[in-house]
Amino acid sequence: MTRSADRNHDITRVAVSTVIFTVRRTGDTISLSLPLVRRTRDPHEGQWALPGGWLDISESLDAAASRTLAETTGLQPSYLEQLYAFGAVDRSPSRVVSIVYWALLRQDDVDAQVAAHAAAGDAPENVAWFDATDLPGLAFDHNDIVDYALWRLRNKVGYSRIAHGLLADEFTLAELREVYEAILRRRLDPANFRRQAEGSGTLIPTERFRTGSHRPARLYRYNRDVELADHGPLGVRA
């Protein structure tokens, strides 16, 4: 084969994938979950993979992330941010660099969007939800990608309001603590968490309460006037 012919096969393609997290409740237990798509063609036919697709020459990376996520899962996230670029030479039979995004979506939004697609008769196929910390063997290097996304999420939750992407606009401190516990995979002392949350300056108490079988719990919202981190000149898409 000539060197010119080699060049014709030496093509690097760019793909965009998204790790989208939500917090799902089963009884009294909540866990961090994500959707996966079963592949219908080689390579890795029949294996689960992250939702994604090829970058179109005419679209931005952000637009490609939103489009491919909607096409494969039907979901539109409340939080979307570029995570990392994965480009190991042997990660795919052909040369592929994946630009990976991560997204957060509230469970009620997931349920509403899934129901809307079901009613319209256009629900995406081959999609299932998995516990983010108990995944099967995924296609390509997608297990490593999820592990990295979990590491970033657990680090970022300590200095940003990223947990808000998994909560309603108003929430109780117990609901906020449950989200932190699901992300960090450990129990947090309720009294200590309350002191830290109320002393952070990032929460605003409202005059409304969540009522139920227990004592009414005050509802809070995030103080959007407080920036918890310097995102630099390019900012962050959220």
What is the full per-residue pLDDT of the chain (238 aa) written as tens digits? 444 444 445 799 999 999 999 999 888 888 999 999 999 999 999 999 999 999 999 999 999 999 999 999 999 986 689 999 999 999 999 999 999 999 999 999 999 999 999 999 999 999 999 999 999 999 999 999 999 999 999 998 877 778 888 999 999 999 999 999 999 999 999 999 999 999 988 899 999 999 987 789 999 998 877 654 455 555 544 3
The predicted pLDDT at position 108 comes to: 93
Length of the chain: 238
Per-residue model confidence (pLDDT) at position 230: 52
How far is Cα 177 from Cα 190, in angstroms, rounded to an integer? 8
- Alpha-carbon torsion angle 170, 183, 186, 86, nearest 10: -170
Whole-prediction pTM: 0.87
Please check whether residue 71 is in contact with residue 136, taking contact to mean a CB–CB distance below 8 angstroms.
no
Predicted confidence at residue 229, as pLDDT, reads: 47
Give the CA count within 13 Å in the CB-facing half-sphere of 225: 2
Q: Are 91 and 140 in contact (CB under 8 A)?
A: yes
Q: What is the pLDDT of residue 20?
A: 95
Strand partners, 34: 130
The token pair that represents 170 in the structure block: 């108003």
Determine the pLDDT at residue 4.
Answer: 42
Place of tokens 């036919």: 45
Q: At what angle do helices 142-156 and 173-184 cross, to 10 degrees?
A: 140
Phi, psi of 210 (to 5 degrees): -90, 120
What gap in Å lies between CA 75 and CA 109, rounded to an integer?
Answer: 9
Residue at token pair 């919202």 = 221
Peptide bond into 190 cis (omega under 30): no
